[in-house]
Homo-oligomer: A and B are copies of this chain.
Amino acid sequence: MIYEAQSRLQDNIRETPLLSSPFIDQLAGRRVIIKAECLQHTGSFKYRGAWSAISSLSDEVRTRGVLAYSSGNHAQGIAAVAKRFNSPAIIIMPSDAPKLKIKNTKLMGAEVILYDRSKQSREDIGEKISFERGLTLIKPYDDSLVIAGQGTLGLELARQLKTLEVKKADVLICCGGGGLCAGVALAFSDVAPDLRVRPCEPESYDDTARSLKSGKRETNNNLSQSICDAILTPTPGEKTFPILKELVGPGLVVSDDEVLFTIAEIFYRLKLVSEPGGAVGLAAALHRQDQISGDAVVAVVTGGNIDFEILKKAFER
């Protein structure tokens, strides 16, 4: 499915570059290679999964429209791809999502429905509207076509690392529901078995790290106390977790403060804009050195949709 997604995505997504900085190598105590996926269309990897899913629908189904729930990056990906296919899109977003993400999703032509994430279930709202209006629901991670789309990043990264002669390394990727980690790990298992995905999470949203330890899907209790809005999911996905369990290394966990530090480094050293969730992988490279093995480490900066207020916090820190 990943190879099929790759042929549908080709010419429709950007190949995002690998970057590096001697300053970051020094901070991390080893060579660090950064995959700048925040430069993808709509500013995050979610565009890959969205394209994979929407391009697979029949014309008839696509014309009726698509529906998604998302804190913002999947929303923008779906909205932008739906627009490219002239397909109507409805997006259900939490009312406390970053303003930039809500605004951009609307600007991309989608109808946005806000909900209170402490009181309402986005899954329930989604299924109700999807049924009433005959729309196809595209879940943010528990969808094989979406996972396959995210997996194309793995194929691309493996090829790029080969040209740098990096064959064996830990690849640090932020983890919410696990769609990107699962897709990339599947891709690596076929083309680069010595690249190992390490899911990275913020403190108190470390459900994946704990689940990988216990062998079953663990849950987070609180749902509103990290700046990493993009990856605050309650538990690993039903479809993603079995893949993670089989293919990825132990999880890594970082604090919001370490993420803020990393956002500023990404800004000053790489000239990239990273959102908090997108910086979690590199934050782990800088702050969990003893839990990482190898001379080189790879970190994926997965998204750049940050409100200026958060960036300001990173610099005031």
Contact = CB atoms under 8 A, between A and B. Distances in A.
Interface of A: 14-17, 19, 22-23, 36, 38-39, 43, 80, 100, 107, 267-268, 270-274, 304, 308, 311-312, 315
24 contacts: A14-B17, A14-B19, A15-B17, A17-B17, A17-B39, A19-B39, A22-B80, A23-B107, A36-B39, A38-B271, A39-B270, A39-B272, A43-B271, A100-B268, A267-B273, A271-B272, A271-B274, A271-B304, A272-B272, A272-B273, A273-B273, A308-B315, A311-B311, A312-B312
**From DSSP, what is the main secondary structure of chain A's interface residues?**
helix
Contacts of A267: 273, 308
A38 B17 CA distance: 13
Chain B CB count within 10 A is highest, among A23, A100, A273, for: A273
Contacts of A38: 271
Contacts of A16: 17
Given A272-B273, A311-B311, 16 more contacts: A14-B17, A14-B19, A15-B17, A16-B17, A17-B17, A17-B39, A23-B107, A38-B271, A39-B272, A100-B268, A267-B273, A267-B308, A271-B304, A273-B273, A308-B315, A312-B312
A80 B269 CA distance: 13
Nearest to A16: B17
Contacts of A19: 14, 39
Nearest to A36: B39
A38 B39 CA distance: 13
A43 B312 CA distance: 21
Chain B CB count within 10 A is highest, among A19, A43, A308, for: A308
